[in-house]
Structure 1
Amino acid sequence: MGRLLGGLALAGQLLSVPLATAAESIHAAFAQGALAGQVGLYGISGKARDEERQGFISGRASLAYQTAPWQHLSLGLGAWGTTRLHETRDGDYRETVASDALIHLAYLHFAGGDRGELTAGRHQVEQEWLTDHIVGVSARLIPLDNLELSFGWAQRQAVVDLDEVSEGFAKMNEDNGLYFGAAHYSPLAWLTLMPYYYHAADLYRAPGMKLTGAWGVGQHLEAATMIQYVRSNTPAGQEDGDFWWLEQTFAYQDFGFGGGYMRAHPRAGSNIAEFGDQTPFEYGDNIFAADAQTWYLAWEYGRDALSLSALYGHTRYAAGTERPRTKELNLIAGYGWNQHLELELIYAAVRNSSVSVADFNSLSMALTYSF
C-alpha cells in the first residue's frame, strides 16, 4: 500500500532548501536550519470473505530538521512516532505498525547546485524499483542539460508511512545490499529514454529500459505514453524472468483517463519488485506472478482542492495447472482545505476466482496537517 506518502512530502520540504541560504559557519548552519513536521490521524477497516472485520485507528507525529548548507553540506535528522488509538481485534495494529517510534532520517546531503546532489545515511528514495527509506547512498548528476544520471547503493530498508511502519531498518539481500543506476536522456523535448540497471548479488541482475513521451493532441487534449521492459537474471539453478509494462494516458482540462498492460515471464514471473515498485494499485496482488497478464483502466478528476480517481484492474496468472484471476477496484477521494491540511479516503475491493484466496474490501482514511 503505497499511496499515503506523508514521509515523502516531509523529506521533500527539507531537500528543497535552496543553495542561496548557505551559512557562513557551522554554528550559523544549525541556527538557520529548516524544521518541518506533520501530525495526522489514520484509520483502516477491512473484511475478508468468511472472516471477521479487522482494522485500527492510529495517531502519529513526525519531525524532520535539516541544517542550512555549509560548504555545500547539510545534516538532516528525523523522527517518526505512531500510537494506537483503537483496534477492532487484538493485534490488528501491530500487524502493520511494527514500531511505535523510529529515527527514519539521519543523513548528510551535498548540494552541487544545478549539477547534482548526493545523500548518504538514512534517507528516502523514490526509484523505479527501490522505494521507502534506506540506509545507503544516492546521487544525482546533471552533466548536460538533457542528461541526468542517478545511482546509489542501499544496504538496509524500512517502510515508514501512515499505513505501515517497519520494526527497523532490515537487511537487504542478506546484508549484500542493492546497487542501482539510471540515465535520464531527453533527445527531444517530448521524449525521455531511461536505461537502468539494478544489481543484488545472489538475488538478481536486472537491466531495463523505460521510454516516456508526452505531447499535445489538438488544442486541449494531452497524451502521455510509457513503455518499459526489465530483465531479471537470477543465479544459476533458478529461472530468469522479465516484465513488460505499457501505459497510455490522456488529460483533458480537469479530467484524466487511460489504461495500461503488464506482462510477467511465463515461467518465473519477476522478482524485480523485491524492494519496491511504482505500480498504480493499492494492493496489486499477483502482478509479478508467473505468466501474469494485467490490464487496467484509470480515470481521475481534479479541480481546486478536490481530487477524485478510480482504477480497475484484471490480472490472470499461473498457479499450477490453473489460471486464476484477480480483480481490483480502487476509488480515491482527496480534499485539501489549504496547503497544510489534507484528507484522503481510499476504498479497495479485491476479488479472486480461486476459492483458496479470499475476497476482501478495505476502507482507509488519512488526515494530515503539515507545518
Structure 2
Amino acid sequence: MKNLLKGNKVSLVACGLLLTSSFAFGANTIDSAFKEGKVSGSLTAYGISHDGKGGEVDTNSGYGTVNLSYETASFMGLSAKAGFEAGHAMADGTLDNDALMTEAYVKYVNDMFSLTAGRQAIDLEWLGDYNEAVVAAITAVPDTTIVLGYTNQQAAADEDEIGDFTELTEDGAYVLDIKYTGFEGIEFNPYAYSAPDAVDFYGLKTTFTADMFGAVAHYATSSVDEVTGAKDGSIGHVELNTTIAGISAAVGYIKTDKDGGIGLMDTYGDNITPFDNGEDNYATDAKTVYGSLGYTVAGVDLGVLYGETDFDVNSESSELNLTAGYSITDSLSLGLLFVNYDLDASSDSDYKEYSATVAYTF
C-alpha cells in the first residue's frame, strides 16, 4: 500500500546536499550532542475497506501506529539515531509485529562524504524501506552525488505494516547510484546493483525539468542467476509531464521484457509504477499506458491516475486511483485514496478499495 502522508524516508542524495551544514554546526562536546539532539515522530490512524469481486474477500481493516525517533546533534562529524515503529491492528487488519526498531545507526559526516552504518531508511530507485546497511554518500565531485552501499536485511514499516528484518537474498545486495546535475534542468542517474547468486542489473534514468514541461527516460536490464529459476529481464519507462494554469498532467509508457519481465529487479524495492497496486506493470511482456491529472482547490490536493496494461498472453488489466490530500495544520494532514482494479475476463481478481489516513507529525 502506498503511503500518501508519511515522509520519514529521505533520499540519500538529499542527505548528501546537507553534509556541509551538518558538519559546520555540530555540538562542542559529547554531552551537548545528546542534549541538543532532536525527537521526531508521527501518530497515524489508517482505515481501509476492500470490496472484492468474485473470489476476492471483502475486508475492513483499521490501524493505529506511532513512529518515534531520537537523533543526536553532530560531534566532530559523528551522530547517532534510534527509531521505533509500534502499531495496533483492528477489525480484519493484522500486523506481523506490535513494534519494531526501524532505525539504529551511527553516521559520520564531513565536507566531502558521509558514512552511515546500521538500520536506516533508504529511498533509491530499486532499494527502499528500512535496511540493515552500510551506505556512503560522496559529494567531493562537483554537481555529483555518488552512493555506495551494501544491505544485508530489510524490513517494511508503515501505516498498515510492521514486518521483520529478513534476508531477501542470501548474500545481501550491493548498490552504486550516481546522480549528476551539471547541466541546467537535467539530472543523469546511472546505477548498478548486485545481489550475489541472485541478480545483477544496471540502468540509466534521465530527468529533464523546465518551467512548464518535464520528461523522464529510464531503462534498466538484469542478468539473473540460473539457480533462481527466473529469467533475465528489462524495463523501459518514458513520461512527459507539464503544469499549466495550476493543473498538472502527465502521460507515460512502461514496457517490460517479453520473456523475463523485470527479471527480479524489484527484489529490494521499486519506484517506477505510479499506481497503488501496479503489480501488472512489472509482469512478463507488460505494456502499460497511463495518464494523470492533478489540481489544488481550496487547499485540497486532488489527483486522478488511470492506466491500462497488456501483459503475459492475452491478459489485460486497468487501474484507477483517485486521491485527495489536505493539510489541516502544518503538522496534521488527511489523505483519501480510492482504487478500482479490473482484470479482464477474470472477475475473481477485481476489487475496489477505499482508504483514509490521518497523520500528525512532530
**What is residue 6 of structure 1 aligned with on the other side?**
6
Q: Secondary structure at the match of 1:272?
A: coil
Q: Secondary structure at the match of 1:29?
A: helix
**What is residue 329 of structure 1 aligned with on the other side?**
320
**What is residue 101 of structure 2 aligned with on the other side?**
103
Matches within 5 A, 1:1-371: 1-4=1-4, 6=6, 8=8, 18-50=22-54, 51-84=56-89, 86-87=90-91, 92-94=92-94, 97-113=95-111, 115-166=112-163, 168-174=164-170, 176-216=171-211, 222-236=212-226, 238-270=230-262, 271-278=264-271, 279-302=273-296, 305-318=299-312, 322-355=313-346, 357-371=348-362
Render the CA deviation track for 1:18-40: whole Å, top value 9, x for unaligned: 44441122111111101112112
Does the Cα contact within 8 Å between 1:136 and 1:152 map onto a contact in 2? Answer: yes
Q: Secondary structure at the match of 1:287?
A: helix
Change (3 A) 1:324 1:46: same
Matches of 1:173 and 1:297, distance apart in 2 = 35
Aligned partner of 2:84: which letter?
A
Does the Cα contact within 8 Å between 1:315 and 1:325 map onto a contact in 2? Answer: yes
Does the Cα contact within 8 Å between 1:256 and 1:301 map onto a contact in 2? Answer: yes
Deviation at 1:170, TM superposition (A): 0.9
Aligned partner of 1:272: which letter?
M
Q: Secondary structure at the match of 2:126?
A: coil
Matches of 2:250 and 2:231, distance apart in 1 = 33
Does the Cα contact within 8 Å between 1:10 and 1:37 map onto a contact in 2? Answer: no
Deviation at 1:59, TM superposition (A): 1.3
Matches of 1:215 and 1:250, distance apart in 2 = 9
Q: Secondary structure at the match of 1:334?
A: strand
Q: Secondary structure at the match of 2:266?
A: helix
Does the Cα contact within 8 Å between 1:129 and 1:272 map onto a contact in 2? Answer: yes
Change (3 A) 1:238 1:369: closer
Aligned partner of 1:255: which letter?
I
Q: Secondary structure at the match of 2:158?
A: coil
Q: Secondary structure at the match of 2:93?
A: helix
Change (3 A) 1:138 1:305: farther
Deviation at 1:299, TM superposition (A): 0.7
Change (3 A) 1:59 1:3: closer
Q: Which runs of 5+ in 2 are unaligned?
A: none
Deviation at 1:83, TM superposition (A): 1.1
Does the Cα contact within 8 Å between 2:219 and 2:235 map onto a contact in 1? Answer: yes
Matches of 2:252 and 2:156, distance apart in 1 = 27
Q: Secondary structure at the match of 2:206?
A: strand
Q: Which runs of 5+ in 1 are unaligned?
A: 217-221
Matches of 1:151 and 1:26, distance apart in 2 = 28
Does the Cα contact within 8 Å between 1:41 and 1:59 map onto a contact in 2? Answer: yes
Q: Secondary structure at the match of 1:60?
A: strand
Does the Cα contact within 8 Å between 1:4 and 1:162 map onto a contact in 2? Answer: no
Matches of 2:5 and 2:25, distance apart in 1 = 27
Change (3 A) 1:11 1:367: farther
Structure 1 length as normaliser, TM-score? Answer: 0.90
Deviation at 1:150, TM superposition (A): 1.4
Which range is displaced more, 328-337 or 301-310? 301-310
Which consecutive aligned stretches of 4+ in structure 1 deviate over 3 angstroms post-superposition? 9-12, 15-21
Matches of 1:336 and 1:39, distance apart in 2 = 15
Does the Cα contact within 8 Å between 1:249 and 1:258 map onto a contact in 2? Answer: yes
Does the Cα contact within 8 Å between 2:71 and 2:80 map onto a contact in 1? Answer: yes
Report the number of matched residues.
Answer: 352
Structure with larger RCO (C-alpha < 8 A, sep 6+) = 2
Aligned partner of 1:266: which letter?
K
Render the CA deviation track for 1:239-289: whole Å, top value 9, x for unaligned: 211110111110124220011101000011112112111121101021111
Q: Secondary structure at the match of 2:267?
A: helix
Render the CA deviation track for 1:305-325: whole Å, top value 9, x for unaligned: 32111100111111xxx3111
Structure 2 length as normaliser, TM-score? Answer: 0.92
Does the Cα contact within 8 Å between 1:257 and 1:298 map onto a contact in 2? Answer: yes
Q: Secondary structure at the match of 1:275?
A: coil
Render the CA deviation track for 1:88-122: whole Å, top value 9, x for unaligned: xxxx312xx21111111101122224x33222111
Does the Cα contact within 8 Å between 1:10 and 1:38 map onto a contact in 2? Answer: no
Matches of 1:159 and 1:122, distance apart in 2 = 12
Matches of 2:235 and 2:5, distance apart in 1 = 25
Deviation at 1:139, TM superposition (A): 2.1
